[in-house]
Structure 1
Amino acid sequence: MPLTPEQQAEIDELRAGARPTLRAVSEGMEKHLYLPHQVLDHGFVRVIDYMGDDAAITQAARVSYGRGTKTVNTDEGLIRYLMRHWHSTPFEMCEVKFHVKLPVFVARQWIRHRTANVNEYSARYSILDREFYIPAPEHLSAQSATNRQGRGALLEGAEAARVLDILREDAMRSYDHYESMLSDDGQKGLARELARMNLPANIYTQWYWKVDLHNLFHFLRLRADAHAQYEIRAYAETMCRIVADWVPFAYSAFEDYRLGGMQLSAKGIAVLKRRLAGETVTEETSGMSKGEWREFESAWEA
């Protein structure tokens, strides 16, 4: 398990000290509090704190206090309505704070979502651990021939072994040099803020990432998608399972309308109507670009 003894002791202490509270509590989220969910080879995601539940979303939508006379069924229906019609503010009433351990190259992709509060482990003040992400053989792929930011066929045999050897050797050599530059044994030793520049992008970092539910759903819609890079998708899929326990009504609506749904353009709706009327519509007669047509057609493939 990728936790230090100190981190595990802290988790054990926090989990043992239950306290009474008057605030809204999600029983599904309580079981996740502080516990790490392993991701990749050395990474994890864990919930540090959260605010709100499904009821907080409906209360905000109704601008009222308490549950009143509303039933669970009407709460679920309202949440589905809000999700269906792209209402965002009620979902912002829920927040969660994650502790994430992740490779630096994944963090640089993740940080593009500028709607969260982030505090990252600082290699200016502390020394990073000798931990690197090395892909499992089943995730070692060649460059896609059709997608500049995607993967193609799986590397196998001697080629896969060669690449894995390079990744391990480069990571270890870089860390050896990092330690050597920091060392003050018979020398002054380079400042930590400078020595870190030599470390590879597959070394692990950690951060606290606090976000509201609306922006978390936006993150998950992009990063839990099948087209997202595998490494960040692994984190997003773990977070999806956590959110499903935290706000089951909201997550069910999100899964239905965002993850499992699709948005049609006006041209797409027109083509669909023409097809339902019995007309044969082709790319040439659709009015769509090649890219639009390809995406439209792929949505109906079995």
Structure 2
Amino acid sequence: MGLKDNDRAEIEALRAETRPTLRAVSEGMEAHLYHAHEVLDHGFVRVVDYMGDDAAICQAARVSYGRGTKSVQNDEGLIRYLMRHWHSTPFEMCEIKLHVKLPVFVARQWIRHRTANVNEYSGRYSILDREFYIPSAEHLAAQSVVNNQGRGEALTGEEAARVLDWLKADSTRAYDHYEAMISQDGQQGLARELARMNLPANIYTQWYWKVDLHNLFHFLRLRADAHAQYEIRVYAEAICEIVKDWVPAAYAAFEDYRLGSVQLSGKGVACLKRMLAGEEVTQEGSGMSKGEWREFREVWG
């Protein structure tokens, strides 16, 4: 999978080191420190560092001196209130730094969330590893006929086999040429910053990604959604499991008010009221477009 033996040994050595601290500590998050959660065929997510916990959110909201100002029940109630009413600043007081190994095409989606600090592995200074994301057969799907950015049914038989063969062969060929271009055996060798342009988008890269909890929740709301692309969704789901242990009260509120909720437009609310009053409402009489009406019906049946 994603971690090499020497990387794993280095992480285990770091994990074995302990230091006393006076800062707020999340016991759930401590268990994740220096532990790599493997994703896809060569990827992983691991926690490098973090700041804050559920109590830090409440402390910031109340601008208090310490942790013992209110009961746990009151803290949970406050966090749910803050989440319910879309407050952001108290959640920004918690931060997490992740080390992520991911395919380049996933990284290009991920980087669109421009509210984090990122430092990526450099293909100018270092030689990229021969590691490519090759989907398993069940994740080879045709283009969706109803969504221009989605997938339809899985490919089968000879077509699926042919696509897998091409993905593997093209990746291998591109890397062979990359190695040949940068080689200095009997030639000058092309600069690494130029040779890397020949590599496909399924090659793996790595980065450190630091983000506050408010913006992380926004990332997870979009990328852990069932409609998100599978290859980024599995990373988001792995991060969800980490955040659940880090800030359990905040994550429970997020799961309830963001992941498990739906949003209605003003027209949607008006239609729902009419339907609850016993009126039969059609798309033509709803004031919604066909797309809006379809999404409305998907929620309410």
Shared fold (TM-score greater than 0.5)?
A: yes
Give the C-alpha shift of residue 12 in structure 1.
Answer: 1.1
1:223-277 deviation per Cα after TM superposition (whole angstroms, max 9, x unaligned): 0000000000010000000000000000000000100101111111111111111
Moved more, 61-70 or 178-187: 61-70
Paired AA for residue 164 in structure 1 = L
Residues 101-137 of structure 1: CA deviation (Å, up to 9, x unaligned): 0000000010000000000000000000000000011
**Gaps (5+ residues) in structure 1?**
none
Cα deviation, 1:152-176, whole Å, max 9, x if unaligned, reads: 1110111100000000000000000
Q: CA–CA distance in 1 between the matches of 2:139 and 2:65?
A: 49
The count of residues paired between Structure 1 and Structure 2 equals 301
| Residues in 2 aligned to 1:67 and 1:207: alpha-carbon distance in whole angstroms | 34
Paired position in structure 2 for 1:103: 103
How far is 1:280 from its partner?
Answer: 0.9
Aligned letter for 2:77? G
Counterpart of 1:127 in structure 2 is: 127
Separation in structure 1 between the aligned mates of residue 214 and residue 69 of structure 2, nearest angstrom: 26
User: What amino acid maps onto 1:9 in structure 2?
Assistant: A
Q: Distance in 2 between matches of 1:69 and 1:56?
A: 12
Moved over 2 A (4+): none
Partner of 1:273: 273
Residues 64-83 of structure 1 correspond to what in structure 2 (within 5 A)? Answer: 64-83=64-83
Among the aligned pairs, what percent are the same residue? Answer: 79
Q: Please, which moves more after superposition, 271-280 or 112-121?
A: 271-280
The residue that corresponds to 1:35 in the other structure is 35
* Match of residue 249 from structure 1: 249
Q: CA deviation at 1:292?
A: 1.1
Residue deviations 1:48-92, cap 9 Å, x none? 000000001011111111123400000001000000000000000
Q: Which residue of 2 aligns with 1:21?
A: 21
Deviates more, 1:8-17 or 1:109-118: 8-17
Q: How does 1:81-100 map to 2 (within 5 A)?
A: 81-100=81-100
Alpha-carbon distance in structure 2 between the residues aligned to 1:214 and 1:50: 14
Q: In 2, Cα distance between the equivalents of 1:271 and 1:109?
A: 35
Give the Å deviation of 1:7: 1.6
The alignment's TM-score, normalised by the length of structure 1, stands at 0.98
Aligned residue for 2:143?
143
Counterpart-to-counterpart distance in 1, 2:53 and 2:211:
14
Q: Does 210-219 or 286-295 show the bigger shift?
A: 286-295
Per-residue deviation, 1:300: 2.0
Query: Could you give the per-residue CA deviations for residues 268-293 of structure 1, whole angstroms, max 9, x where no partner exists?
Result: 11111111111111111111111111
- Tell me, in whole angstroms, the C-alpha distance in 2 between the residues paired with 1:15 and 1:184: 39
Considering only aligned residues, what root-mean-square deviation do their CA atoms show, in Å? 0.8
Summarize deviations over 1:18-52 as a string: whole Å, max 9, x none: 11110000000000001100000000000000000
SS for the counterpart of 2:245 is helix
Tell me if 1:157 matches 2:157: yes
Question: Which secondary structure state, in structure 2, belongs to the residue aligned with residue 299 of structure 1?
Answer: helix
Alignment of 1:41-80 (within 5 A): 41-80=41-80
